[in-house]
Each structure stands twice: as C-alpha cells, then as structure tokens.
C-alpha cells in the first residue's frame, strides 16, 4: 500500500458534535476546523445511530439514519475531506429484519446461515475446556439463549444480547459485507475501519480471537475493499507483540499502546518505556490518545496467552496507571469504569484524556504534541479536540460508562469550548502539523534524562519536539518556508508555519 495522507483527522459522532452530517460538513469546512483536520472518521451513522451501543449495533448497516442525513451527504463531504466509516464486521442488531426473520422461521429462514450459534461453530458439542478458551472482552460466556423458530438456541453474542454475531464466511455473510463495501465505495469513502474484526472468525478449540484464520479473512476483505477504491484500518486491542504481527500483515492498525504509555511517562516523569515503544512500534499506524471507547490499557500489559511474554508495563505499573487516571480525574473515572457502570469492559478506563491529565493545559498540550510528532496518521477524538471534562451529568442520566467521554455539543457549548486557550492552541498545533512538510519521513527519537526529543524531517523542512516529562516543559523548533521558528510555550505561543 502506498503511504496514505498523514495529515490530522478528527474522530466524531455527527450528532454529538454538529447535529447531523450536513452540519458536520459545514463545521469541518469552517475555521478553525478546516485548518486543523484534513479528514474525519465519522462514528456510526447507520440506522439506528442511537441503539443499544451508540450505533455499533446497526439494524441496517447500508442505510444512513434519516435523522442524520443521506449517503449523498457523505459523498459531498468526501469531496473535501478524507473520510472514514465503520464497518461493523462482527455483528448486527437483534432488531435487524434478517435476524427477526430467523427468530420467526428458525432454520427455515433464508438468512439462517448469516448468524452464529454455539451449534454452528461446535456442531458436535463443546467441552468445558473449549468453552473456557473463548476470549470475550466482558465477563461471562459469549452466548445468549434465544428462541429461533420456536427452538431454544444459544446465539453467539460477543458483546451484548442486542449484537448478534454473523458468520462472515457464509454466503450470506459475504454478500452482507459486499453490500456495505458497495455503499462505501459509491460514497467516496477513503477508509473503512473494521470494527471488532478480531472476533469475527471463530475456530473450535481456540480463543476465537485473532486466530491464524483471521489474517486470510482480512487480506481477502482488503482486496475486495481496494477494488472499490477503499483502504482498510484494522481495529484490535491486544498484546503489543501481536499488534506488531498484525501490522505486518495489514494496511493500517491503531497504535493503542501510545495513550497509556504517554500517560505513564507524564505521571512518572520517566520516558524509557515510551522511548522503547517509539523505537519498535509499527510505522503503518493510526495514532490516537483517545477514542469513543475510552483509554485502552490491555495493549501495554503482558500476554494473556499461556506462557506469553511480558508487557510494555508490568502488572504493578498498569495498576498504578489506572489508579493515576482515577486520581487525576478526581475519582470520576472510577464511577464510569468496570462494574461501576454498564457497558462493562475489561480492557479500558472510561475517562477523557484531558481529565486523565488533571485538566492541566500545558501537560495536555505536551501529550498532544507527542501524538502529533509520532509517525503515522494522527486522529484526535472530538472530546479531546475540545479538551472536554468528564461528562458526569450524561453518565448519571444514561448509566453508560462510555458516555462520560461522549459529550453532546450545541452551538453555545461549542463556541465556549473553541474560545478556550487550550483548545485554540491544540487546533493551531494540528494546523502546524498539517501545513509544515516535515512529517513525511520517519522520526528520530532520543531520551536525555527526563527529556524526550522527537525530530521529523521532510525533503526540505524539519521540526523537533522536546518534552521534559517531569515538568511538561515543551519546546518546538522548526525550519519551514518562512524560515526558522521556535516556541517554548504551546499554550500562549503555539507554532505557526
């Protein structure tokens, strides 16, 4: 794959930031967003966008929810911005017409082969050992008892009972994915993000998570996507060495290790682990500090496989990291994580990244500078772009842990956010990253005591970032078309080309 455009992208829900797709297009085409973001990952806008899992449980993945707009609106946005959409490869809503037909007709339904049950994967029955080996991101077994055509079956539900796993290798499953790809290609979408693809292939006697058979599926799917002019980003939370293995076989992966390691470095004032990761991490990465799913932790921990290797952080360091997030957020993240709220996950802390750094503007901008100087495609989550605090009112209203990091903005609250110095500085930093042609090449990273330095060099221009991890003092120096420049205060004097 040819190296993609690596300018900064935004991650956002259309409704929570701008109301709908036309509103999002208008916002992205106006300043300061137009300079800051060359692309946008639009989180699920399918019917319904507000289901049991905020759109990740589509009833109809090929239909834009009419409350948000149409495929024509996405096609229009794709004329001015790099666009990315989710392809929820592992499951579909229990309310979909296909599954409801299976509920009514059971094995006689023409859609019966689209969905997975225990018996589909284990036709001869499963042993206790085989069932215990299955990996799931939440406690319990991935099965829900349901009546299909009057027959009681154990339906495969990796995430929630409202999200029914599909058989992506069946004729119906292949046709289903092709219909979604066709819509993406017709709308001019640049990337599809394969959501939950690590769970898509089930193999008896294994964890059924990122098994060897998953890679041929991703490769074959990627070829079908490219035939429609669409590239593929793989979304997998897993052990860092497995992530590196995955990266060697696919177009793009997320760097989910970066967020916890940046926090660890800024909490402890030590950068050895972060520097080590910068040296070995895959280059074909999408770099995030925050997403709609919170702050991932499992990606820096030890392998869960029998006899697996150590993590980038030890168990004790991971515990300290999680407690650090809770402490810096004043305990609010504790209320939204684990058994304290629904949407229970084993591998993340629900918290905005701004809160995770104690709402310290300069420390926050130092973290963002590290993200933007790290090689790859930077994506900034909308709550992070606006330096949002934890939304406790929304959490208490819904009881959904992830909603602490999924705020709603109206015109008034958006204008207030954009007027804040930390937000102005961050968006200026993103514009600098986009405009200075110094970020095309690889990076040189060094560590001197507590000072981490990352230098990027293009064909003509260069930029260098130095962050004292102990104090968050940050310096950026650069050479650009207007000559040399430098700043020692990103908040008061963000860099400009």
HEC readout, 362-384:
HHHHHHHHHHHHCCCEEEEEHHH
Which among 235, 290, 355, 403 is annotated as catalytic?
A: 235
Q: What's the pLDDT score for residue 264? A: 98
Residue of 345 and 22 predicted with greater confidence: 22
CA–CA distance from 410 to each of 18, 133, 407, 415 (Å)?
Answer: 7, 46, 10, 8
CA max distance for the chain:
75
Q: For 208-287, where are the E strands, in sequence order?
A: 231-234, 252-255, 285-287
Q: Kindly name the residue from 195, 251, 290, 335 that is annotated as catalytic.
A: 195
User: Residues 376-398: what's their mean pLDDT?
Assistant: 97
Cα gap 65→52, rounded to integer Å: 15
The response to whether 293 counts as a known ligand-binding position is yes
| 347 assigned ligand-binding residue | yes
CATH H-level, domain 9-89+171-435: superfamily:
Glycosidases (3.20.20.80)
Mean pLDDT for 380-405 is: 95
Per-residue pLDDT tens over the stretch 268-299: 999 999 999 999 999 999 999 999 988 988 89
Element (H, E) at 226: helix 214-226
| Tokens 């963000």 sit on residue | 494
pLDDT value of position 237:
87
Ligand-binding site membership of 91 (annotated): yes
User: Catalytic annotation on 235?
Assistant: yes
443-487: which CATH architecture?
A: Single Sheet (2.20)
CATH classification of 97-165 is 3.90.400.10, yes or no? yes
Contact yes or no for 346/139 (Cβ under 8 A)? yes
Residue 290: closest CA among 334, 259, 267: 259
Question: How far lies 222's CA from each of 63, 174, 236, in Å?
Answer: 22, 13, 16
348 is in an annotated binding site: yes
Q: What mean pLDDT do residues 146-153 have?
A: 97
User: Does residue 285 contact residue 376 with C-beta atoms inside 8 Å?
Assistant: yes
**How big is the chain, counted in residues?**
497
pTM of the model: 0.95
Got the DSSP string for 317-349? Answer: HHHHHHHHHHHHTTTHHHHTSGGGSBS--SSEE
What's the CA gap between 313 and 304, in Å, rounded? Answer: 14
Nearby residues of 399 by Cβ (< 8 Å), 6 or more positions away: 341, 342
Q: Is 29 marked as binding a ligand?
A: no
Distance CA 61, CA 96 (A): 9
Distance, CA of 147 to chain centre: 34
Known binding residue 292? Answer is yes
- Any residues with CB less than 8 A from the CB of 354 and at least 6 apart, and which? 364, 383, 384, 387, 388, 389
Encode pLDDT of 337-367 as tens digits.
765 544 445 568 999 999 999 999 999 999 9
Q: Give the model confidence (pLDDT) of 205-261 as tens digits.
A: 999 998 999 999 999 999 999 999 999 999 988 889 988 988 888 889 999 999 999
Q: Where exactly are the structural domains of the chain?
A: 9-89+171-435, 97-165, 443-487
Alpha-carbon Rg for the chain, nearest whole angstrom, is 22
The pLDDT mean for the chain works out to 94
Compute φ and ψ for 377, nearest 5 degrees: -100, 115
pLDDT at position 277:
98
For 75-110, give one letter per residue: b (16+ CB within 10 A) or e: ebbbeebbbbbbbbbbbbbbbbebbebbbeeeeebe
Q: Is 195 annotated as a binding residue?
A: yes
Report whether 228 contacts 184 (CB < 8 A).
yes
* pLDDT tens for each residue of 83-116: 999 999 999 999 999 999 999 999 999 999 999 9
Element (H, E) at 184: helix 171-186
Around Cβ 360, how many Cβ atoms within 10 Å?
15
For CA atoms 355, 360, 362, 363, the dihedral sign is negative
């Amino acid at each position: 794959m040819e190296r993609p455009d690596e300018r900064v992208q935004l991650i956002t829900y259309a409704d929570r930031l701008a109301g709908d797709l036309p509103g999002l297009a208008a916002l992205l085409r106006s300043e300061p967003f137009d300079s800051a973001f060359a692309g946008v990952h639009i989180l699920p806008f399918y019917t319904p966008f507000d289901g049991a899992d905020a759109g990740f449980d589509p009833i109809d993945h090929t239909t834009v929810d009419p409350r948000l707009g149409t495929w024509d609106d996405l096609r229009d946005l794709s004329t001015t911005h790099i666009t990315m959409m989710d392809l929820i490869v592992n499951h579909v809503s229990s309310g979909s017409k296909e599954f409801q037909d299976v509920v009514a007709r059971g094995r006689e339904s023409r859609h019966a082969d689209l969905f997975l049950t225990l018996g589909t994967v284990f036709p001869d029955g499963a042993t206790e050992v085989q069932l215990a080996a299955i990996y799931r991101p939440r406690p319990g077994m991935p099965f829900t008892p349901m009546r299909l055509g009057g027959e009681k079956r154990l339906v495969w539900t990796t995430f929630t009972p409202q999200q029914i796993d599909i058989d992506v290798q069946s004729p119906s499953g292949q046709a289903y994915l092709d219909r979604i790809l066709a819509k993406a290609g017709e709308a001019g979408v640049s990337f599809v993000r394969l959501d939950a693809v690590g769970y898509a292939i089930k193999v008896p006697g294994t964890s059924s998570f990122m098994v060897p058979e998953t890679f041929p599926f991703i490769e074959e799917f990627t070829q079908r996507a490219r035939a429609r002019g669409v590239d593929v980003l793989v979304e997998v939370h897993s052990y860092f060495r497995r992530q590196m293995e995955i990266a060697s076989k696919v177009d793009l992966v997320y760097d989910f290790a970066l967020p916890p390691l940046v926090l660890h470095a800024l909490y402890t004032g030590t950068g050895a682990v972060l520097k080590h990761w910068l040296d070995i991490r895959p280059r074909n990465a999408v770099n995030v500090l925050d997403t709609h799913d919170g702050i991932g932790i499992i990606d820096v921990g030890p392998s869960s496989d029998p006899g697996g290797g150590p993590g980038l952080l030890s168990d004790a360091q991971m515990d300290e990291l999680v407690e650090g997030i809770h402490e810096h957020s004043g305990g609010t993240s504790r209320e939204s994580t684990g058994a304290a709220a629904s949407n229970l996950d084993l591998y993340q802390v629900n918290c905005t990244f701004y809160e995770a750094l104690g709402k310290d503007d300069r420390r926050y901008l130092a973290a963002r500078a590290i993200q933007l100087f790290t090689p790859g495609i930077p994506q900034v989550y909308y709550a992070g772009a606006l330096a949002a605090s934890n939304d406790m009112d929304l959490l208490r209203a819904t009881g959904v842990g992830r909603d602490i990091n999924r705020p709603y903005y109206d015109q008034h609250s958006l204008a207030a956010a954009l007027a804040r110095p930390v937000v102005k500085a961050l968006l200026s930093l993103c514009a600098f990253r986009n405009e200075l042609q110094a970020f095309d090449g690889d990076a040189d990273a060094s560590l001197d005591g507590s000072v981490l330095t990352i230098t990027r060099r293009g064909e003509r221009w260069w930029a260098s970032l130095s962050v004292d991890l102990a104090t968050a003092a940050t310096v950026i120096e650069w050479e650009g078309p207007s000559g040399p420049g430098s700043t020692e205060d990103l908040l008061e004097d963000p860099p400009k080309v």
